[in-house]
Amino acid sequence: MTSTIPEAEILRELEKDTRQAWDHYQDRLRELTGDEYERVESESWGELQSELQRVEQRREDVKPTPA
């Protein structure tokens, strides 16, 4: 019987990484207004999307392959 505990732990870690990526995005924008918000938001959105893609790729790598 194959243990799923390591897989479950990895998936929890990936969920944590996803939350941290969103938190970082929100933190960078907090208290910004006007042109500064627009500039930082655009930059931060790109970084967020890149990080979420990395997390998703790692999630795909964890999924078991069909036998």
Q: Which residues contact 24 (CB under 8 A, 6 or more apart)?
A: 47, 48, 51
Residue 1: the pLDDT is 45
> Does residue 65 belong to any structural domain of this protein?
no
> Does residue 67 belong to any structural domain of this protein?
no
**Rounded mean pLDDT for each run of 10 residues along the chain, 67 residues in total:** 71 96 97 96 96 95 72
Residue 63: the pLDDT is 76
Domain count along the chain:
1
Residue 61: the pLDDT is 87
Residue 8: the pLDDT is 84
| Parent domain of 23 | 5-60
d(CA 1, CA 16): 28
Q: Which residues contact 40 (CB under 8 A, 6 or more apart)?
A: 28, 29, 32
d(CA 48, CA 60): 18
> Does residue 47 belong to any structural domain of this protein?
yes
> Does residue 33 belong to any structural domain of this protein?
yes
